[in-house]
Chains A and B, each alone.
Chain A
Amino acid sequence: MVEPRIIPRVVIVGAGPAGTRAAEACVQAGVRPIVLDEGRRDGGQIYRRQPDNFTRPYAKLYGSEAGRAQALHETFDGLKGAVDYRPETLVWNIAGGHIWTASQTYADTLPFDALLLCTGATDRLMPVKGWQFAGSYSLGGAQVALKSQAVSIGHKVVFMGSGPLLYLVASQYVEAGANVVAVLDTAHYSARIKALPDLLAVPSVLWNGVALTMKLKRAGVAVHNGIKPLEIKGNADSGVSGVRFRTGAGAEQEIICDAVAMGHHLRPETQLADLARCAFAFDPGTRQWLPKRDGDGRSSVAGVYLAGDGAKILGARSAEASGRLAALAALGDLGLPVDKGEMASLRGDVGTYAKFARGLAKAFPWPSEQASQLPDDAILCRCEGVTAGDLRGVMRETGAKEANRAKAFSRVGMGRCQGRYCGLAAAELIAAEAGVPVEQVGRLRGQAPVKPLTIAIGEEQ
Chain B
Amino acid sequence: MSRFVRLGETDRPAITVHVDGAPVEALEGDTLMVALLSQGGVLRQSEFGPEKRAGFCLMGACQDCWVWTESGDRLRACSTLAASGQRILTSQPGASWSNHA
Q: Does B84 contact A (CB under 8 A)?
A: no
Question: Does the CB pair A134–B51 fall under 8 Å?
Answer: yes
Q: Does A186 contact B (CB under 8 A)?
A: no
Chain A 141-173 interface 0/1 with B at a Cβ cutoff of 8 Å (1 = within): 110111001111111000000000000000000
Chain B hits for A269, CB < 8 A: 61
Q: How far is the CB of A423 from chain B (nearest CB, A)?
A: 12
Question: Does the CB pair B3–A239 fall under 8 Å?
Answer: yes
Q: How far is the CB of A139 from chain B (nearest CB, A)?
A: 10
User: Dominant SS at the A interface?
Assistant: loop
Q: Determine, out of A26-34, A53-61, A363-371, the stretch whose residues face the partner at the interface.
A: A53-61
Contact among A153, A236, A452 for B3, CB-based, below 8 A: A153
Q: How far is the CB of B49 from chain A (nearest CB, A)?
A: 4
Question: Does the CB pair A416–B63 fall under 8 Å?
Answer: yes
Chain A 24-63 interface 0/1 with B at a Cβ cutoff of 8 Å (1 = within): 0000000000000010100001000011111110000000
A142 to B29, CA, bound (A): 18
Smallest Cβ-Cβ distance to A132: which chain B residue: B51
Q: Does B87 contact A (CB under 8 A)?
A: no
Q: How far is the CB of A130 from chain B (nearest CB, A)?
A: 9
A134-B52, A237-B52 are known contacts. Are A150 and B61 too (CB-CB below 8 A)? no
Smallest Cβ-Cβ distance to A176: which chain B residue: B7
**Within residues 26 to 66 of chain B, which ones have a CB less than 8 A from any CB in chain A?**
28-31, 34, 37-38, 41-43, 46, 48-64
**Within residues 176 to 193 of chain A, which ones have a CB less than 8 A from any CB in chain B?**
176-179
Q: How far is the CB of B71 from chain A (nearest CB, A)?
A: 10
Q: Does A92 contact B (CB under 8 A)?
A: no
Question: Does the CB pair A385–B7 fall under 8 Å?
Answer: no
Question: Does the CB pair A132–B58 fall under 8 Å?
Answer: no
A146 to B5, CA, bound (A): 10
Chain A 426-458 interface 0/1 with B at a Cβ cutoff of 8 Å (1 = within): 000000000000000000000000011010100
Q: Does B25 contact A (CB under 8 A)?
A: no
**Within residues 379 to 430 of chain A, which ones have a CB less than 8 A from any CB in chain B?**
379, 382-385, 416-417, 420-421
Question: Does the CB pair A385–B5 fall under 8 Å?
Answer: no
Question: Does the CB pair A420–B100 fall under 8 Å?
Answer: no
A384 to B30, CA, bound (A): 28
A452 to B63, CA, bound (A): 8
A144 to B60, CA, bound (A): 11
Q: Does B20 contact A (CB under 8 A)?
A: no
Question: Does the CB pair B8–A141 fall under 8 Å?
Answer: no
Q: How large is the interface on A (under 10, 10 to 19, 20 to 34, 35 or more residues)?
A: 35 or more
Chain A hits for B50, CB < 8 A: 236
Question: Does the CB pair B56–A56 fall under 8 Å?
Answer: no
Chain B hits for A55, CB < 8 A: 9, 11
Q: Does A198 contact B (CB under 8 A)?
A: no
Smallest Cβ-Cβ distance to A139: which chain B residue: B57
Chain B hits for A151, CB < 8 A: 4-7, 34, 37-38
A152-B4, A454-B73 are known contacts. Are A385 and B42 too (CB-CB below 8 A)? no
Chain B hits for A179, CB < 8 A: 5
Chain A hits for B28, CB < 8 A: 53
Most chain B beta carbons < 10 A, residue from A134, A238, A383: A134
Question: Does the CB pair A385–B46 fall under 8 Å?
Answer: yes
Contact among A38, A135, A149, A236 for B60, CB-based, below 8 A: A38
Q: How far is the CB of A11 from chain B (nearest CB, A)?
A: 20
Smallest Cβ-Cβ distance to A234: which chain B residue: B51
A40 to B53, CA, bound (A): 24
Q: Does B24 contact A (CB under 8 A)?
A: no
A153 to B58, CA, bound (A): 11
A456 to B37, CA, bound (A): 28
Chain A hits for B8, CB < 8 A: 56, 150, 176-177
Q: Which residues of B contact A (CB under 8 A)?
A: 3-9, 11-12, 28-31, 34, 37-38, 41-43, 46, 48-64, 73-74, 78-79, 81, 100-101
18 contacts between A and B (CB under 8 A): A45-B59, A52-B29, A122-B61, A135-B41, A138-B62, A140-B57, A151-B4, A151-B6, A154-B4, A177-B8, A234-B51, A239-B41, A239-B42, A239-B52, A383-B62, A383-B63, A385-B100, A421-B62
Excluding A122-B61, A239-B51, A384-B100, 8 further A-B contacts by CB distance (< 8 Å) are A122-B59, A123-B57, A135-B3, A151-B7, A237-B42, A237-B51, A239-B52, A452-B74
Complex A-B, nearest 5 residue pairs according to Cβ-Cβ distance, in ascending order: A141-B58, A134-B54, A385-B48, A416-B63, A385-B49
